[in-house]
Chain A
Amino acid sequence: MADPMRIRANMAGDKVEVRVLMSHEMETGQRKDAKGDIVPAHFIQNVTVTHAGKTVLSAQWGPAISKNPFMHFRFKGGKPGEKVTISWVDNKGDKRTDEATISGG
């Protein structure tokens, strides 16, 4: 199981500003190890962010997203104290879900 995501969600005016840092190798499948063998691709493919039962962002990623992926976006309709939930699934079927509480601006 991968390490927890670091999620910051805080109010910026009437919007919720979300910054998330995930812990993942994001191996491209192009790289060779010391013996010259290809290191198999291992990367996050799907990311979903939900708030109050509604998807506020969904993404499909390829292996070109950097190691330990970072994402920053904003959505309307959230209030301090409410939760933002973020899930990812990678190409090997590993997955992780974490949540954060929206803090005041």
Chain B
Amino acid sequence: MDIKRREVLKAGSGAGVLALAAAAGLVKPGEASAQEWNKAAFGTKSFADTVKALGGGGSTESRDIQITAPDIAENGAVVPISIESRLAKTQAIAIMIEKNPNTLSANFEIPDGTDPFVTTRVKMGETSNVYALVKADGRYFHAVKEIKVTVGGCGG
């Protein structure tokens, strides 16, 4: 125990300590974030780069993905978006907004037994294409919808 503690202390401060502490089993799993946050994917600035950062080689447009969202969002700070996939073995659903400072808004992992459907609310800086990227049976598919924004939601 003491040796582990030394190693943790030596390693420095901040996130590094947390990660080490988790690795050493000092922090209960589930207490600290058990899952990683895909920093690379959330830093991308285009649809194609985001697909790559999420592990896809490319994506095919599909009619089996339904994006339900307003055509015109009066308030870009709160834009409701629902995505439903009819693709068999849907494993994940990601929401991307092409013209936001970073493209990826959210990535939901859908285990067996959970409907391939999710609703959330996102911020949009300006009128943009919104992509729904679905990972199904290891492959990537997408649908796209343009949402017009009257007042942007990223500024002050």
Contact = CB atoms under 8 A, between A and B. Distances in A.
Interface of A: 15, 26, 28, 30-33, 45-46, 48, 54-67, 69-77, 87, 89, 91, 93, 95
Contacts, number: 118
A65 B120 contact: yes
B139 interface: no
B125 to A, nearest CB: 8
A58 B32 CA distance: 14
Chain A residues touching B, majority SS? strand
Contacts of A57: 108-111, 114, 118
15 contacts: A45-B33, A56-B111, A57-B108, A58-B35, A58-B108, A60-B42, A63-B102, A65-B121, A66-B77, A66-B121, A70-B80, A71-B119, A73-B115, A74-B114, A95-B31
Residue among B38, B77, B100, B114 with most chain A CB within 10 A: B114
Contact of B117 (A73, A91, A95): A73
Contacts of B117: 73-74
Interface residues of B, number: 43
A55 B118 contact: no
Nearest to B39: A45
Nearest to A32: B156
Contact of B156 (A31, A45, A71): A31
B111 A55 contact: yes
B111 A54 contact: yes
Contacts of B18: 93
Contacts of A93: 18
A24 to B, nearest CB: 12
A28 B154 contact: yes
Contacts of B3: none
Given A46-B33, A56-B114, A67-B78, 14 more contacts: A30-B154, A30-B155, A31-B154, A31-B156, A33-B156, A46-B37, A57-B118, A60-B41, A64-B124, A66-B123, A69-B121, A70-B80, A74-B115, A76-B114
